[in-house]
Structures are given as C-alpha cells and as structure tokens.
Amino acid sequence: MNSGDSSISIINTATNIVTATIAAGHGGPEEVSFSPDGSKVYVTNPGSNTVSVINATTNAIIATISVGSQPSGISVSPDNSKVYVTNDGTNTVRIINTATNTVSNTIIVESISYTYGNFISTHIIDTVCSAQFLLYPDTSQAHHYLITDSVSGIAPIHYLWSWGDGNFDSLPNPSHTYTDTGIYTICLTITDSTGCQSSYCDSSYHIMRIENMMAYVSVNSSFTTGVKMKNTQPYSVSIYPNPATTLLHIHQSIPSPNQQLIITDLLGTEVYKEMLTGIDNTISISTWSAGIYFYEVRSNSDIARGKFIVN
C-alpha cells in the first residue's frame, strides 16, 4: 500500500520482487480485504471516498465504488456476499453487494474514531448457508459447460440463478443456452428456511460458441470431492500451493488405481493430462501463463474437481 503515490505494489513472495503496481484511488490506498476465495481484493481510498475492487488474477481494477467520507476499515463477509466499509468522516458503515458492486445499505453508528483492516470475525455468523458452485467445461462435449453446486442450508431452499445475459431461473438445477459469445458472470443467490441468504458469482469462463452451435450450461447438484470408500476414510484431493508459481503438488487422501489428472484453462482447452501414482504427485507449471485453471481427477469410480491460480 503506497499512500504517497496512490498505488498498490504486488510482491512475488518467492522472489521478494515487485511484479506489478496498480494505480488506486486518489488519496489512498488505506486498508485492504480479500474475498474468501482469493479472487478479489477490496481497497479503501479515503482521499477519493471510494473502494477499489481488484481482480487478483489479472491485477486489474474492475470497479470503483463511492462509499462515503474517509473510508478506512473494510472486510468481506465469510459467505462472500457483502463488503462492510467504515466511513470515519460520517460515522457510517456502508454495505456493498459483491454481486453488483453497489452500495446496498448504509448504517449510522454513534461514533467511529478510526478503524483498521478486517474488522469482522469469520466466527460471528450463527446461521450457516452457502451458495457456492463450481463452473467448468464438459470435456466430453464441445460448447457445453457444467455447474456443480455445493449449496448448503436448511430446507426448503429458494434458488435464483442469474445467467449474466439478462435471464434468470428459480429452479435448483436448470439449464441455459447462450446465443452469443462472451464473458458472462453467473450468480446464484439462495435463501433457506431460516432466512439465511448467500450469494456467489463466477465469471471465470469465456463462454464460446461458433456459427450454428449454441453454448449452454447445465447445473448438477450435490457437489462432492469424492465418495466414501468401503472400510476407509472419505476420498479427497487437494492441490497446493494456491496460487502457485513454479510447482503444483497434488495430494490424494487415499491412493487409487487408474487415477487420471486433467487440467483445463479458462477456455476449456486441455493443457495437461497424466496418470497419478501414489498419494503425492508434483508437476512443473513454471512455463504456464498466469490465470485460473481447473482440475479434474478421475478414477474408475470417483471424480474430484476444483480450481487453482497460477501467478
């Protein structure tokens, strides 16, 4: 955070070298907070009374939000649906909707002398619900994308899917067809029977189509990273570090025969494939382009999926 020239320096932790410098709002930056999934960075700029939203993969500012006089403290809610900003100049707290990057509410408080950084504990939420989902390409069918949700909450749960092209669905497992190529932000908002509400958005794929071939998305439910195997602990796969720079480690909780690793990029293009052996495997990614990648580990009976970032 460089208040003197209103910029943010990005440092590679492996080399301790500044890899990028981002111009922030005038008179800032002051404090910073990260989205739970690490995809976005939120920065307060007290000189311009704004919050900058930064894409952590591209290091580009994707939104600048006016929030009130002298914003300082900032934190993202654990469900990634809201950002809370304290304004020292007006004794207010502004609440930002992360799906729209707009201020959705203003709370007047008695006094704010000064606030620093993340002021919300991840343990203060009594009710737990989640609208999280994973978007990935169907490797068996061109122009087809799949969503597997990991929605949690107390039934009945109300769903609202926003496809990013002006269309919506309220079914738990809908399908949608895109008539144009583009980068669409797909969002899901759920409300469970206790009133707990959660929103999650994903714009990680450039939905591609060609002439006479529509691109479409289908939603599957009940996301799991594996299945419970007989007489053993549940199967799971972890990939680390995330973000990664030179080496990527793949760890399986249980070794299984015929485990195949498939990695695709944002366009759904397969960039890597190999058979895994044993519990731990390592691959070199030093020549890979920076960005978001999706992995899929397949065996005769299990499929585990997830995503990681290459810096």
The predicted-structure confidence for 219-240, as pLDDT tens digits, reads as follows 875 433 333 333 334 567 888 8
Q: Is residue 118 part of a domain?
A: no
pLDDT at 144 over 90: no
pLDDT at 275 over 80: yes
pLDDT number for residue 2? 67
pLDDT number for residue 229? 31
- On average, the pLDDT of the chain sits at 77
pLDDT in tens, 278-311: 888 999 999 999 888 888 887 766 677 778 888 8
Q: Do 79 and 141 sit in the same domain of this protein?
A: no
Instruction: Give the domain extent around 83.
Output: 7-108
pLDDT number for residue 122? 41
Q: Do 255 and 183 sit in the same domain of this protein?
A: no
pLDDT number for residue 125? 38
pLDDT in tens, 31-72: 888 887 778 888 888 878 888 888 888 888 888 888 877 787
pLDDT in tens, 159-214: 999 988 889 999 988 988 887 777 788 899 999 888 888 888 887 666 666 555 66
pLDDT number for residue 190? 92
pLDDT number for residue 247? 92
The DSSP annotation for the chain comes to -BTTTTEEEEEETTTTEEEEEEE--TT----EEE-TTSSEEEEEETTTTEEEEEETTTTEEEEEEE--SSEEEEEE-TTSSEEEEEETTTTEEEEEETTTTEEEEEEE-S--S---S----TT---S--B--EEEEE-TTSTTEEEEEE--BSSSS-EEEEE-SSS-EE-SSS-EEEESS-EE--EEEEEE-TT--EEEEEE---EE--BTTB-EEEEEE----SS-BPTTSPBP-EEEESSSBSSEEEEEESS--TTEEEEEE-TT--EEEEEEE-SSEEEEE-TTSPSEEEEEEEE-SS-EEEEEEEE-
pLDDT at 106 over 90: no
Q: Do 14 and 92 sit in the same domain of this protein?
A: yes
Q: Do 104 and 11 sit in the same domain of this protein?
A: yes
pLDDT at 103 over 50: yes
Q: Is residue 205 part of a domain?
A: yes
Q: Is residue 26 part of a domain?
A: yes
pLDDT confidence bin for 25, thresholds 50/70/90: low
Selected residue with higher pLDDT from 233 and 246: 246
Q: Do 241 and 216 sit in the same domain of this protein?
A: no
In the chain, how many domains are there? 3
Q: Is residue 2 part of a domain?
A: no
Q: Is residue 180 part of a domain?
A: yes
Q: Is residue 120 part of a domain?
A: no
CATH of the domain at 147: 2.60.40
